[in-house]
């Protein structure tokens, strides 16, 4: 990838963020400081409608010969575990056979693979995660102009179920319920972009102006802190600045968004609802997907991360002693079927959820097409065959046309190529001037051109 | 190397200048600080945040919102608190929680008592009132003295907000929101004095958060201001005062809550068909049961920590009767004594502990054994190898391997698995006579359950006998000392920390393993012993100098 800015100054971001392996041009600094991110938005899609990026996660992978299509290219076949995506297949590309290479490092079950997919470097403990997940890199680049830099959601009710992080100590916690998410998005701070009336509320002016008293404490505190503490304080003060810009946005009339309709407030779940029960989880996830789609249509964010289930999935069937994750390790392969039947059922249910998610975005009309057409969604798990935590061929699916930059409905076989190629592709499609991504053996300069228009 | 040295020297010069500035501003040299060792900035836990708000503004101020999740590092949230920061979405939440609090403080129901003044004839904007308000609440929220200039900045910003909003109280709420969103409220800054020891306010916070899990009270703040905490005698007087207070129970509960991972019971779910006796209410009561039992033995009766593993005395609640199959009269908590010979003795047989380290649908000797080895014996159990099949082991319908023990034994045929399972499983198998929610049972699918095994070179027959071996095991008592020290300092020990920890461990038997004596000794040690510096990693140097590591 060529970028005039890169040849001018081959600046490394590496030292700034503590060991990340991304090589980017100098404008990254401007990008961080850019108050509206419009420079980048303009390069994406080329139209008036913003392109959004998001990730969708499910735990415990799949059974390769029940999930991987046999044919490549368009109109790929749907093996049994992919059968649920039939109705949305034209929106979904399948990327199989892209590997995580541990390069001699240990495989910490359910963590190593996931960190490699998300950061381009496998880490065998949370503390070892050094680089940001690439959704954070994309959010840093294009997330500035919207009210929320990024939105994180988990359908399992746990705010810790999030694979979006700046490093192992800084995880972006997820909104764990439809009610929590609704209050965050469509509560008192929400301005209907299509409302004719707009009067800047002085409360935002006041809230913003007092934050300067907080921000000005930085110098004294940072001066006396050790290096690691200083980095943590800097993260805090960056968060303060982010709220300041968010409050500033509240004083401008938001541009109209034709598809935006403030949704009805969802009812709270009855106390003690068991979200590990698969049908209950599917319902919760569907509700949250609909709210997220509306948050995107209302231009509240350009970046999102949705987790249907955690790594080492907690999905269960009520009344069974053994749930999804335990079954992957403990269930015998049925001799007549040739696979683990309980595991198969849970994986297929996870694909039902993925189809629900794609449908939620595709059902919102936007411009000449749909909201999904202006999205780029990267779906993945943390392993391929969960029974032995296999990191070869971790399943990935891409949905949405990214405003016309991406081809949908194809199957690409990676044949053992590093999975970091997909992360690099996502960053480049979102307009980032990144020429390589990943660390050591996972470093790559090759995007997955098969899905590019 | 040369430019790097210059940069570091420049940073040091800057620090010296800001130190002098801070000294004049705060009026006390000891809290000014040089560059502090890493781990000196700890984010308040949710419980501590709530405690500070309740102490400063009263119990009836509601704290509503979702906090940034805590991070548990090597078993302790306290250690994770010195590694986390505040993300953008987290700061959003903190600011929202702060606004909720501030709006209540200034509302019509509270302003008379909590604000206590209004704009007046000679002070139409209310400057004197705002200034007085921040001078009163500011030091309590920051847990240190505040300079007039700091108060003045908050006052000016508040008055400006009041003008913008055309409402004095709305402006005050906005200014208070900023203070409640400030780093010095959300984090604990442990500033050392020039002699390398902790400064007075840092000492005050350390002992009050350790012993009360609460901010320093007025008396302690006065002692810090007066320099009383700089002397061992003055410090001991305050430590003894804090320990004599009923609030010491809160401190001990907070420690055991973190140490035994009891917060995980708040979100523990069991299969509702297999274990209809278990629900969220029961889980909460099981947590309370263990905490009450600990407080009864170790605080109220000033007991021996080792007796926690052998005592037949346990806090009991009516709703827990079905789990323990004991009749419970009355609606309040009572202390219950299991009869001699009962299979329930000690912490290892608390249903909360047993349920916490089981699967949702059944027991797990491995999870139980691992948790006990790690938390109570301070041993690190590695993660299982990634490429391993548990299928033979866990086939609950296996016609020949009926019990969990028989199935796990088959697993030991694999040497790679055996090295860890020989460590975890014997302890877990000793607890097999308790099911996935901690109910007693003697058979599994018709087969009698064998709970015998070996621990520390001695054979045992069941959980009761294992409890006795835990009581007499030196690793059990030295582990709690180390864990309490890590809890108190919020970080992992460095080289220079080992001698004081070894002294604490050696002293524990001499005071009859009394937990109260241990907490007192730790409170004094962590405030009086010098703070060793951590060598800066290459990466940290890179952050400081801006030179990337090669």
Q: Judge contact between B510 and B243, C-beta under 8 A.
A: no
Q: Is A48 exposed, middle or buried (0-12, 13-18, 19+ CB in 10 A)?
A: exposed
pLDDT at A144: 81
Taken in order A415, A419, A420, A422, the sign of the CA dihedral is positive
Say whether A340 sits in a helix, a strand or coil: coil
pLDDT at B390: 61
Which sequence spans correspond to the domains of chain B? 258-471
B431 vs A223, which has greater pLDDT? B431
A114, A321, A331, A388: which to substitute to probe chain B, counting the most B Cβ within 10 Å?
A321
pLDDT at A32: 35
What is the predicted ipTM? 0.88
The Cα of A360 is separated from the nearest Cα of chain B by a number of Å equal to 24
pLDDT at B19: 33
Lowest mean pLDDT among A34-48, B96-110, B348-362, B415-429: A34-48
pLDDT at A40: 34
Per-residue pLDDT, averaged over B399-404, amounts to: 73
The answer to whether A83 contacts chain B (CB < 8 Å) is: no
Say whether B527 sits in a helix, a strand or coil: helix
The Cα of B156 is separated from the nearest Cα of chain A by a number of Å equal to 9
Query: CA–CA separation, A326 vs A349, rounded Å?
Result: 16
Reported as a single tens digit per residue, the pLDDT across A300-333 is 999 999 999 999 999 999 888 889 998 998 888 8
Query: CA–CA separation, A424 vs A426, rounded Å?
Result: 5
Q: Do B178 and A213 touch (CB under 8 A)?
A: yes
pLDDT at B99 over 90: yes
Helix (H) / strand (E) element for B238: namely helix B232-244
Per-residue pLDDT, averaged over B477-497, amounts to: 94
Q: Judge contact between A58 and A308, C-beta under 8 A.
A: yes
The Cα of A178 is separated from the nearest Cα of chain B by a number of Å equal to 14
User: Residues of A with CB below 8 A from B16's CB?
Assistant: none
Out of B19, B177, B539, whose CB is closest to A210? B177
Buried b (16+ CB within 10 A) or exposed e, B31-40: bbbebbbbbb
Report chain B's mean pLDDT, rounded to a whole number.
87
Structure-block tokens of residue B69: 């999740």
Query: CA–CA separation, A164 vs A153, rounded Å?
Result: 10
B77, B85, B275, B280: which to substitute to probe chain A, counting the most A Cβ within 10 Å?
B85
Taken in order A179, A185, A187, A192, the sign of the CA dihedral is negative
What residues 256-295 of chain A have any CB closer than 8 A to a CB of chain B?
271-272, 274, 276
pLDDT at A341: 96
Query: CA–CA separation, B549 vs B525, rounded Å?
Result: 37
User: Residues of B with CB below 8 A from A16's CB?
Assistant: 548
Say whether B314 sits in a helix, a strand or coil: strand
Question: Which residue from B minimizes the CA distance to A245?
Answer: B88
User: Residues of B with CB below 8 A from A242's CB?
Assistant: 88, 91
Out of B161, B177, B184, whose CB is closest to A217? B184
User: Residues of A with CB below 8 A from B540's CB?
Assistant: 226-228
A163, A189, A229, A388: which to substitute to probe chain B, counting the most B Cβ within 10 Å?
A229
Q: Where do we find the tokens 């070996």?
A: B454
User: Residues of A with CB below 8 A from B41's CB?
Assistant: 225, 229, 232-233
pLDDT at A29: 30
pLDDT tier at B37 (50, 70, 90 boundaries)?
confident
Query: CA–CA separation, B134 vs A414, rounded Å?
Result: 62
Helix (H) / strand (E) element for A321: namely none
pLDDT at B462: 96
Per-residue pLDDT, averaged over A236-257, amounts to: 92
Give strand pairing partners of A413. A96
pLDDT at A161: 96
What residues 182-211 of chain A have any CB closer than 8 A to a CB of chain B?
184, 202-203, 205-207, 209-211
Task: Report domain A4-194+271-451's class.
Answer: alpha beta
pLDDT tier at B419 (50, 70, 90 boundaries)?
confident
Say whether B315 sits in a helix, a strand or coil: strand
Reported as a single tens digit per residue, the pLDDT across B275-303 is 999 999 999 999 999 999 999 999 999 99
pLDDT at B7: 33
Chain pair A-B, CB pairs under 8 angstroms: 245
Nearest to A395 by CA among A90, A142, A64: A64
Reported as a single tens digit per residue, the pLDDT across B220-268 is 999 999 999 999 999 999 999 999 999 999 999 999 999 999 999 998 9
Per-residue pLDDT, averaged over B521-545, amounts to: 64
User: Residues of A with CB below 8 A from B85's CB?
Assistant: 169-170, 231-233, 235-236, 239
Nearest to A217 by CA among A192, A234, A193: A234
Query: CA–CA separation, A291 vs A286, rounded Å?
Result: 9
CA distances from B538 to B226, B473, B534, B542, B549 (A): 40, 41, 12, 6, 6
pLDDT at B77 over 90: yes
Out of B41, B177, B362, whose CB is closest to A321? B362
Q: Judge contact between A226 and A238, C-beta under 8 A.
A: no
Structure-block tokens of residue B306: 């080792």
pLDDT at B337: 96
The Cα of B33 is separated from the nearest Cα of chain A by a number of Å equal to 7
The Cα of B56 is separated from the nearest Cα of chain A by a number of Å equal to 20
Reported as a single tens digit per residue, the pLDDT across A342-396 is 999 999 999 999 999 999 999 999 988 999 999 999 999 999 999 889 999 999 9
Out of A12, A206, A237, whose CB is closest to B174? A206
Say whether B505 sits in a helix, a strand or coil: helix
pLDDT at B292: 98
pLDDT at A272: 77
pLDDT at B393: 55
A3 vs B87, which has greater pLDDT? B87
Query: CA–CA separation, A180 vs B203, rounded Å?
Result: 39
User: Residues of A with CB below 8 A from B88's CB?
Assistant: 149, 172, 238-239, 242-243
Q: Judge contact between B503 and A193, C-beta under 8 A.
A: no
- Residue B209: CB atoms within 10 A of its CB come to 26
Per-residue pLDDT, averaged over A120-131, amounts to: 90
A143, A226, A390: which to substitute to probe chain B, counting the most B Cβ within 10 Å?
A226
Out of B85, B88, B181, whose CB is closest to A214? B181
Q: Do A18 and B543 touch (CB under 8 A)?
A: yes
Per-residue pLDDT, averaged over B321-336, amounts to: 94
Query: CA–CA separation, A213 vs B183, rounded Å?
Result: 11
Q: Do B280 and A212 touch (CB under 8 A)?
A: no
Share of chain B above pLDDT 90, in %: 73
Question: Which residue from B minimizes the CA distance to A159?
Answer: B69
Q: Give every CB contact of residue A252 below 8 A, 6+ residues apart in sequence.
A: A200
pLDDT at B392: 55
The answer to whether A179 contacts chain B (CB < 8 Å) is: no
What residues 8-67 of chain A have any CB closer than 8 A to a CB of chain B?
12, 14-16, 18-19
Assign residue B74 a region (left: φ > 0; alpha: ψ between -120 and 50; beta: otherwise). left
pLDDT at B412 over 80: no
pLDDT at B163 over 90: yes
Which sequence spans correspond to the domains of chain A? 4-194+271-451, 199-252
Report chain A's mean pLDDT, rounded to a whole number.
88
**E-state strands within A126-250:** 151-154, 165-167, 170-171
pLDDT at A44: 34
Nearest to B90 by CA among A231, A154, A152, A145: A152
SS3 content of chain B, % helix, strand, coil (to 5): 55, 5, 35
Reported as a single tens digit per residue, the pLDDT across B17-27 is 333 333 333 33
Q: Judge contact between B394 and B404, C-beta under 8 A.
A: no
Per-residue pLDDT, averaged over A226-246, amounts to: 93
Query: CA–CA separation, A131 vs A119, rounded Å?
Result: 6
Q: Do B87 and A206 touch (CB under 8 A)?
A: no
Q: Do B546 and A15 touch (CB under 8 A)?
A: yes
pLDDT at B535 over 60: no
Q: Judge contact between A171 and A165, C-beta under 8 A.
A: yes
Lowest mean pLDDT among A28-32, A107-111, B182-186, B283-287: A28-32
A224 vs B117, which has greater pLDDT? B117
- Residue B539: CB atoms within 10 A of its CB come to 17
pLDDT at A5: 31
CA distances from A88 to A83, A351, A360, B535 (A): 10, 11, 11, 55
Q: Do B33 and A224 touch (CB under 8 A)?
A: yes
Query: CA–CA separation, A359 vs A365, rounded Å?
Result: 12
pLDDT at B335: 96
* C-alpha angle B303-B309-B315 in degrees, rounded to nearest 5: 70
């Amino acid at each position: 990838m060529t970028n005039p800015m890169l040849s001018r100054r081959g600046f490394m971001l590496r030292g700034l963020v503590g060991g990340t392996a991304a090589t980017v041009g100098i404008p990254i600094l401007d990008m961080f400081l850019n108050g509206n991110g419009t420079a980048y938005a303009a390069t994406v899609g080329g139209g008036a409608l913003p392109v959004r990026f998001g990730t969708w996660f499910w735990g415990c992978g799949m059974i390769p010969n029940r999930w991987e299509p046999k044919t490549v290219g368009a109109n790929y076949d749907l093996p049994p575990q992919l059968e649920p995506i039939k109705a949305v297949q034209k929106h979904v590309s399948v990327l199989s056979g892209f590997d995580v290479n541990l390069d001699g490092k240990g495989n910490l079950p359910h963590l190593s693979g996931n960190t490699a997919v998300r950061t381009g470097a496998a880490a065998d403990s949370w503390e070892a995660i050094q680089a940001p997940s690439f959704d954070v890199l994309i959010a840093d680049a294009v997330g500035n102009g919207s009210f929320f830099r990024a939105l994180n959601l988990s359908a399992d009710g746990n705010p810790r179920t999030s694979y979006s992080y700046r490093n192992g100590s800084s995880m972006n916690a997820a909104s764990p319920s439809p009610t929590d998410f609704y209050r965050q998005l469509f509560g008192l701070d929400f301005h209907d972009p299509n409302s004719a009336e707009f009067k800047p509320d002085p409360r935002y002016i006041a809230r913003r102006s007092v934050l300067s008293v907080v921000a000005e404490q930085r110098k004294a505190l940072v001066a006396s802190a050790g290096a690691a503490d200083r980095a943590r304080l800097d993260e805090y003060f960056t968060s303060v600045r982010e709220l300041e810009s968010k409050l500033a946005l509240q004083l401008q009339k938001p541009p109209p968004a034709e598809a935006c309709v403030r949704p009805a407030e969802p009812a709270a779940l009855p106390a003690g609802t068991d979200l590990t029960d698969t049908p209950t989880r599917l319902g919760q996830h569907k509700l949250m997907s609909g709210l997220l789609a509306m948050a995107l249509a209302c231009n509240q964010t350009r970046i999102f991360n949705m987790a249907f289930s955690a790594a080492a999935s907690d999905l269960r069937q009520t009344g069974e002693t053994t749930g999804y994750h335990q079954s992957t390790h403990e269930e015998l392969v049925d001799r007549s079927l040739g696979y683990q039947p309980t595991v198969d059922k849970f994986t297929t249910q996870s694909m039902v959820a993925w189809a629900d998610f794609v449908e939620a975005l595709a059902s919102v009309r936007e411009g000449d097409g749909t909201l999904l057409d202006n999205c780029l969604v990267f779906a993945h798990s943390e392993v391929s065959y969960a029974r032995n935590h296999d990191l070869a061929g971790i399943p990935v699916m891409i949905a949405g046309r990214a405003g016309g930059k991406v081809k949908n409905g194809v199957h690409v076989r990676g044949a053992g190529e590093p999975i970091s190629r997909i992360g690099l592709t996502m960053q480049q499609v979102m307009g980032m001037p990144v020429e390589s991504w990943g660390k050591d053996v996972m470093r790559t300069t090759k995007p997955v051109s098969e899905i590019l228009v | 190397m040369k430019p790097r040295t210059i940069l570091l020297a420049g940073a040091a010069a800057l620090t010296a200048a800001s130190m002098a500035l801070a000294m004049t501003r705060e009026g006390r040299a000891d809290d000014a600080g040089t560059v502090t060792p890493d781990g000196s900035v700890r984010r308040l836990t949710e419980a501590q945040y709530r405690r500070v708000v309740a102490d400063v503004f009263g119990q009836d101020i509601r704290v509503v919102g979702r906090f940034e999740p805590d991070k548990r590092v090597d078993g302790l949230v306290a250690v994770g608190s010195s590694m986390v920061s505040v993300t953008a979405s987290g700061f959003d939440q903190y600011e929202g929680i702060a606004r909720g609090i501030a709006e209540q403080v200034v509302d019509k129901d509270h302003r008379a008592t909590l604000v206590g003044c209004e704009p007046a004839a000679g002070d139409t904007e209310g400057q004197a009132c705002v200034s007085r308000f921040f001078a009163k609440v500011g030091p309590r929220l920051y847990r240190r003295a505040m300079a007039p200039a700091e108060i003045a900045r908050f006052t000016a910003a508040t008055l400006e907000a009041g003008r913008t909003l055309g409402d004095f109280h709305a402006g005050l709420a906005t200014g208070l929101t900023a203070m409640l969103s400030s780093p010095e409220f959300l984090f604990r800054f442990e500033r050392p004095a020039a002699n390398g020891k902790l400064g007075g306010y840092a000492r005050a916070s350390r002992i009050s958060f350790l012993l009360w899990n609460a901010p320093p009270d007025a008396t302690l703040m006065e002692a810090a201001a007066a320099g009383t905490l700089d002397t061992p005698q003055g410090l001991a007087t305050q430590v003894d005062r804090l320990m004599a207070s009923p609030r010491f129970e809160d401190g001990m509960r907070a420690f055991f809550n973190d140490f035994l991972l009891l917060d995980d019971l708040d979100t523990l779910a069991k299969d509702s068909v297999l274990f209809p006796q278990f629900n969220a209410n029961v889980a909460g009561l099981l947590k309370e049961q263990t905490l009450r039992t600990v407080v009864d033995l170790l605080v109220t009766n000033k007991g021996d920590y080792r007796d926690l593993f052998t005592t037949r005395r346990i806090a009991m609640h009516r709703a827990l009767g079905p789990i323990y199959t004991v009749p419970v009269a009355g609606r309040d908590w009572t202390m219950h004594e299991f009869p001699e010979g009962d299979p329930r003795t000690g912490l290892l047989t608390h249903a909360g502990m047993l349920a916490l380290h089981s699967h949702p649908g059944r027991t797990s000797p491995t999870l139980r054994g691992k948790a006990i080895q790690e938390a109570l014996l301070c041993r690190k159990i590695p993660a299982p190898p990634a490429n391993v099949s548990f299928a033979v082991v866990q086939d609950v319908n296996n016609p020949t391997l009926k019990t969990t023990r028989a199935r796990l034994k088959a697993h030991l045929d694999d040497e790679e698995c055996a090295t860890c399972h020989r460590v975890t499983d014997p302890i877990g198998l000793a607890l097999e006579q308790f099911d996935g929610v901690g109910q007693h049972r003697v058979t599994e699918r018709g087969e009698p359950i064998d709970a015998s095994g070996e621990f520390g070179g001695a054979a045992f027959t069941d959980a009761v006998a294992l409890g006795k071996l835990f009581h007499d095991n030196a690793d059990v008592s030295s582990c709690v000392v180390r864990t309490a020290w890590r809890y108190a300092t919020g970080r992992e020990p460095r080289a220079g920390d080992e001698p004081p920890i070894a002294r604490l461990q050696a002293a524990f038997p001499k005071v009859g393993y009394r937990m109260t004596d241990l907490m007192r000794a730790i409170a004094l040690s962590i405030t009086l012993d010098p703070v060793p510096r951590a060598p800066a990693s290459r990466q940290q140097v890179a952050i400081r100098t801006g030179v990337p590591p090669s």
